[in-house]
Chains A and B, each alone.
Chain A
Amino acid sequence: MLRYLTSRIVATFVMALLATLIVFLIVSLVPGDPVLSQLGDMAASNPEIVKAYRAKWGLDLPLYEQYWIFLTRLLNGDLGISITSQRPVMADIAQYAPATIELGTIAFILSVVIGVPFGIAAAVARDSWIDHSARFISLIGVSSPVFWLAFIMLTVFYGWLQIAPGPGRLDPIDLPPPRVTGAFLIDSALASRWDLLHTAVAHLVLPSIVLCAATLGLITRTTRASMLDTLGQDYVRVARAKGLRERAVIVAHALPNALIPVVTLGGLAYANLLTGTVMTETIFSWPGLGLYTFRSALALDIPAIMGMTLVFAFVYLLINLLVDLSYAVLDPRVLKR
């Protein structure tokens, strides 16, 4: 167990190191002069300023030395200065991350809580109306573009019916609760501001539905397929031959096996939800990492974009590591011999 654990952690660490190299290479090698975009036209036309700038950021050094500098700065939590905000990228990330984590986590919980039971029910009652509706909903989920779904939701529920609040995390007149975690649901509860909690929940409804649509479809599909596959296995027939009730056959024998691939997908989906909020946040004016990345991209804010890319890659690797470790618990075959 300990061996497996350390081996997975070492592998993840190596991948993370390689990821920094990739990001560094993209920054260094892509066409487009960072100096130009960093300094602006006026300053860039002055060779003195350019030279001083290059020396300051080590851009005149050989590539491997630059990488070393990049890496040591990274270890100190320094991702550079954002051009647009003129603040350290790390500080920006710390500010925007809670909103994204809040939204992504709610969407993830929604898609798992709905998708997994739905997929199981569809597989168990195959070719029934549950099955057909599960397949239809997952098809719509994976086929509709997020930005369009968001538009439809906002138009119908906010614009026409006016039963949902507009974009943003709170109503425009509200002040955010005192910052503890940055997640408004938690912070407003901690401050006993139940009115704010209510508003925050209301504001989360549409974005989280929109964000989870595709994931929900995917999780339903995978659960259904995995469950169907498991129900056809010999050991399920053996369980029936033992005289177990159908419920016990499904819950005790089929489910633990069927959920193994769902866990992989779930981990991947959570990573995608945390890193794939760009569209949703843009449309719902959700001040999270997605919106930050989007604004940085439009402003060609290279340090911010690269910082975000790296952070997202780390998130992905970390979640993958957690999935691998959960395997060791779920599937005894992983720790073989």
Chain B
Amino acid sequence: MPAAAKEPVQPILEVRDLRTHFDTDAGVVRAVDGVSFHVMPGETLGLVGESGSGKSVTALSIMRLLQDQSRIAGGSILFCGRDIVTMDAEQIRALRGDQMAMVFQDPMTSLNPVLRIARQLVETMVIHGRRDRNSALGHAVQLLGRMGITAPERAVDSYPHQFSGGMRQRVMLAMGFSNEPALLLADEPTTALDVTIQAQILDLLRELNTDFGAAVILISHDLGVIANVCSRVVVMYAGEVVEEGPTEALLSDPKHPYTWALLNAVPRLDRYIPGQRRLTTIEGMPPDSHQWPRGCRFAARCPFRVEACTEHPELLPVGPTRHSRCWVTQTGQSLPKPALPLVAPAAVKKVPAADREVMLEIKGLIKHFPVPKQNFFAPREAVHAVDGVDLIVRKGETVGLVGESGCGKSTLARLIVRIHEPDAGLIKFTGHDITHASAAEMRPLRRRIQMIFQDPYASLNPRMMVRDILAEPIRFHGLTDDEAGTQRRVEELLGLVGLSSTTAAKYPHEFSGGQRQRISIARALAVTPDLIVADEPISSLDVNIQAQIINLLIDLQERLHLTYLFIAHDLAVVRYISDRVVVLYLGKVMEIAPAEALFDRPLHPYTRSLISAVPIPDAAIERMRQRIHLQGEPPSALNPPSGCRFRTRCPMAAARCAAEEPVLHEYRPDHWAACHFTERV
């Protein structure tokens, strides 16, 4: 291990040429294929890569927690000098949870549902002989308090289902740190959480690293999260380490084209370039894991590839503290900044917003979902999913809709396209009142409003060929004269979303997530709609595929003059794509403003804290940033707080906020907010 040699201190973990293989029906998958890296005591190391890059398998190999079909086929993992790979079951067991702990991605499924929190915390300490039962219980309470759980004495007696995801992840962290391990592995610990909760957990993780002195390996696909926590980064691609180095240097001057592509595919909240209408993307998809390419595994997608790339490069030093697996940067040269065509700002600003025709108008929209009664005598309750929303979408614009999970954004989308029936309020589409339109009245309008869905694996009927999926709406609305015309139109649609016409005869399961999302877009376009409601269309995709889909959506908007209502939880993406942005919290609109105004001069404290919670992939900026910490978690939508919905978490809440609900008021031209204290923000 090259970098470690200079250090006087021995690394706590040293992975050497690790190979982990899966046996599948289709052959052997070399998921981890010769991975080497080390971790120093107390260090925070980031492990980055997209899904399938082998980062989680590496972590599971270190813990020796691999599933049935996978096994370590070669290499060594030295933990404090002892090789984990050759340990017997009892030796590795003694290490797990004691000197080496792990926190997993999904806090909702990581706690045993039938055991009390206390039991699950205590056994970790007792099993390794650290404490007896009584002192372990006391320590558990103390730890939960340290993790920021209110009333920890009560919390230990609870069952997991009584906690939210963020709380459960705190419990998992308490469990991980309960024996003060020398190394903690955290596998995407915040991916399943909302951005404000993510910020809380990341803060906590950093503090714990300082307090306990444990080394942390943080696995993430999000460079912003890595920049927030880690001092050094290892980037993985196709089962290999492709680059390694200190976070700041690596993120500001990537020495591997894959790192470069990762960095540039994500729009940055802090670096909005007016006129930039496209994201940098790389072509294609990661190689087939059953058979890695012989040469450089990234070569097929690499914009910088040279002749030498047909030969497999080694991970070699490219500077005093840096390593990269690339022929191009071997000489130490930097990769160029992406050169994207900028549209002149004048061309971007089309007709002034206010003058454009109103396409969709929503007033006081309400939807409550009754909850099944818990038992015979329970009172009827309802989730206040959408609770009085006003909104206008004008022709040709993109309106972004942001909010945390449970804020009602998906329900709002389904109300607009009338999958759900509104309880009250008004929905007007190009002048037609469609609030309570019948199925027959909606039918002609279905051609003009379409939707793109979140989950590309659930939004296509698995038993239909792509051809039929696309032809169905065309036939139903009689958009073509004959069958030949329909087939021509199907091919045209596939071309429009960048798929070849040969894909028409395939079934959805033969496609990757990104390709499926293209098919889903093509289906929405089949009826030549005016308005497309996109419900988190990119949230389940890898960053590079996200960028491709965003570019496609912008392309299509320019070519087909579409209007978008774009729902997302990723603020950077929303800022990038939207003309105006709506911020939703617990079924209510907090703020509406043009994208630039909203992100540069937010009026609502909730908007401000949302923006400040987004991690930025730049270690220097992350260190300097002022954050507004949101306390606690969103209240239940079954029983929303009186007055201002946000007051329970608001840093500037006052008595007035509980008594009086703030109305949405236009504080600046076209800039609306619902807060009593906008002037103080």
Contacts and interface: CB of A to CB of B under 8 A. Distances in A.
Interface string B149-161: 0000000000101
A331 B160 CA distance: 12
Contacts of B202: none
Given A6-B376, A252-B123, A333 B110 contact: no
A248 B97 CA distance: 14
A59 B452 CA distance: 65
B98 A243 contact: yes
B161 A333 contact: yes
Given A238-B104, A241-B96, A233 B109 contact: yes
Interface string A170-203: 0000000000000000000000000000000000
A330 B114 CA distance: 7
A241 B111 CA distance: 12
A68 interface: no
Interface in A1-33: 3-4, 6-8, 10-11
B114 A243 contact: no
A257 interface: yes
Contacts of A241: 63, 65, 96-97, 101-102, 104
Interface string B96-126: 1110011010100111111100000001100
Interface residues of B, number: 33
Interface string A252-269: 110011001000000000
Interface in A234-260: 234-235, 237-246, 248, 252-253, 256-257, 260
A238 B110 contact: yes
A257 B123 contact: no
Which of B98, B110, B128 has the most chain A CB within a 10 Å cutoff?
B110
A333 B123 contact: no
A130 B375 CA distance: 43
Contact of A244 (B104, B114, B123, B161): B123
A336 interface: yes
Contacts, number: 92
B65 A253 contact: no
Contacts of B374: 3, 336-337
B95 interface: yes
B379 to A, nearest CB: 11
A234 B377 contact: no
Which of B115, B172, B378 has the most chain A CB within a 10 Å cutoff?
B115
A47 interface: no
B112 A253 contact: yes
Given A7-B377, A242-B96, A235 B127 contact: no
Interface string B595-622: 0000000000000000000000000000
A53 to B, nearest CB: 43
A40 interface: no
A242 B127 contact: yes
Interface string B256-294: 000000000000000000000000000000000000000
A234 B110 contact: yes
A248 B110 CA distance: 17
B127 A248 contact: yes
Interface string B360-376: 00000000000000111
Contacts of B104: 234, 237-238, 241
Contact of A240 (B65, B94, B161, B378): B65
A235 B111 contact: yes
Given A253-B112, A333-B161, A242 B377 contact: no
B115 A244 contact: no
Nearest to B381: A337
A248 B93 CA distance: 12
B124 to A, nearest CB: 5
Given A235-B109, A253-B112, A242 B376 contact: no
B175 interface: yes
A8 B376 CA distance: 8
Given A240-B96, A241-B102, A242-B124, A234 B376 contact: no
B113 A234 contact: no
A12 B290 CA distance: 56
B112 A11 contact: no
Contact of A256 (B114, B123, B172): B114
A3 B161 CA distance: 20
Interface string A150-165: 0000000000000000
B113 A333 contact: yes
B97 A243 contact: yes
A332 interface: yes
A290 to B, nearest CB: 35
B114 A245 contact: no
Contacts of A237: 65, 104
Nearest to B106: A234
Contact of A243 (B96, B110, B161, B378): B96
A310 to B, nearest CB: 24
B184 to A, nearest CB: 11
Contacts of A235: 109-113
A243 B112 contact: no
Contacts of B172: 238
A240 B98 CA distance: 12
Contact of B124 (A6, A243, A252, A333): A243
A332 B114 contact: yes
A113 to B, nearest CB: 23
Nearest to A237: B65
A252 B126 CA distance: 14
Contacts of B101: 241-242
A243 B93 contact: yes
Contacts of B377: 3, 6-7
Contacts of A256: 112, 114-115
B471 to A, nearest CB: 39
A190 B376 CA distance: 45
B110 A242 contact: no
Contacts of B97: 241-244
Contacts of A257: 112-114
Contacts of B96: 240-243
5 contacts: A237-B104, A241-B65, A243-B128, A244-B127, A253-B115
Which 8 A-B pairs have CB atoms at the shortest separation, nearest pair first? Answer: A243-B97, A7-B375, A242-B97, A7-B376, A243-B96, A234-B109, A332-B159, A235-B112
Interface of B: 63, 65, 89, 93-98, 101-102, 104, 106, 109-115, 123-124, 127-128, 159, 161, 172, 175, 374-378
Given A7-B375, A238-B104, A238-B112, 6 more contacts: A6-B375, A235-B109, A243-B128, A248-B127, A256-B112, A333-B113
